[in-house]
């Protein structure tokens, strides 16, 4: 019995090229650059301060930059190919559709983590030198959130032609607005789940989350697996011309 590969180098190379060789690359580079410039400016004007570091890393890096990068990487990994119809050429190749989705997810996760976790770590060191493990905590949270966001937004790229708009609405309205203002909505927020991990890694009392760590880790895993599984299912349902 044949096994399904989890990664296809050619599909990965084409996906990387699509993400980093188009206008999406501008957003991918601009957001981390803005975070680093902001962090350097804040450090220059206010000095090293733990509360300021938490506000910048939590308010901009985790709440804004991470979901926006996730939208760009997740939807951009597959959405454009479906929109312009070029996905039919990919699906016509002897590559299992499960492998296509998993490979694109790996690429989306890799790009998201590279453009969120690393800049967040550097920004944390700029802000307060990783005092009380704040930089490491937020970098780990950014990485964890990036995995879930990549799966969610990859799914959006498969199920709708308006994936970017839907992703932005989710990231900016649900995560950033409702997730911060409405207590009940916070428990259903990827940001809050990732924040729970940051709370666990940082010194006591520095970072707070409304979700306990075991629940947060479970929900992050469930959302990632469920979104990936449904994306695979939807890809398998796509038919090519001549197929029955």
Residue 1: the pLDDT is 40
Q: Could you tell me which of 216, 6, 21 has the C-alpha nearest to residue 104?
A: 6
Evaluate whether residue 40 is within a structural domain.
yes
Evaluate whether residue 243 is within a structural domain.
no
Q: How far apart are CA 107 and CA 101, in angstroms?
A: 10
Q: How far apart are CA 51 and CA 48, in angstroms?
A: 9
Residue 239: the pLDDT is 64
Our count of domains for the chain comes to 1
What is the overall mean pLDDT for the chain? 88
As a whole number, mean pLDDT of residues 127-131 equals 95
Evaluate whether residue 172 is within a structural domain.
yes
Evaluate whether residue 2 is within a structural domain.
no
As a whole number, mean pLDDT of residues 158-187 equals 80
Using the 8-state DSSP alphabet, how is residue 198 labeled?
A: H
What are the CA-CA distances from residue 35 to residues 60, 84, 169 (Å)?
7, 33, 22
Most confidently modeled range among 12-16, 53-57, 205-209: 53-57
Q: How far apart are CA 64 and CA 70, in angstroms?
A: 10
Evaluate whether residue 87 is within a structural domain.
yes
Q: What is the pLDDT of residues 54-76, one digit of tens each?
A: 999 999 999 999 999 999 999 99
As a whole number, mean pLDDT of residues 198-203 equals 96
Domain of 44, in residue numbers: 9-237
């Amino acid at each position: 019995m044949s096994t399904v590969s989890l990664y296809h180098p050619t599909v990965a190379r084409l996906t990387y090229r699509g993400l980093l060789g188009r206008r999406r690359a501008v957003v991918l580079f601009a957001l981390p650059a803005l975070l680093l410039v902001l962090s350097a400016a804040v450090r220059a004007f206010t000095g090293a301060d733990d509360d300021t570091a938490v506000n910048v890393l939590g308010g901009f890096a985790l709440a804004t930059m991470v979901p926006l990068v996730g939208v760009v990487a997740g939807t951009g990994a597959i959405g454009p190919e479906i929109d312009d119809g070029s996905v039919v050429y990919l699906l016509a190749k002897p590559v299992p559709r499960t492998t296509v989705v998993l490979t694109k997810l790996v690429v989306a996760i890799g790009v998201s983590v590279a453009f969120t976790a690393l800049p967040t770590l550097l920004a944390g060191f700029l802000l307060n030198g990783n005092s009380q493990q704040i930089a490491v905590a937020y970098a780990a949270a950014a990485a964890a959130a990036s995995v879930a966001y990549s799966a969610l937004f990859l799914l959006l790229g498969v199920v709708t032609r308006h994936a970017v708009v839907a992703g932005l609405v989710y990231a900016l309205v649900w995560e950033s607005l409702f997730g911060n203002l409405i207590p009940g909505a916070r428990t259903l927020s990827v940001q809050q789940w990732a924040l729970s991990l940051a709370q666990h890694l940082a010194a006591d009392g520095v970072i707070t989350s409304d979700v306990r760590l075991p629940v947060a880790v479970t929900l992050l895993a469930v959302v990632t697996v469920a979104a990936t599984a449904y994306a695979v299912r939807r890809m398998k349902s796509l038919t090519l011309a001549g197929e029955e």
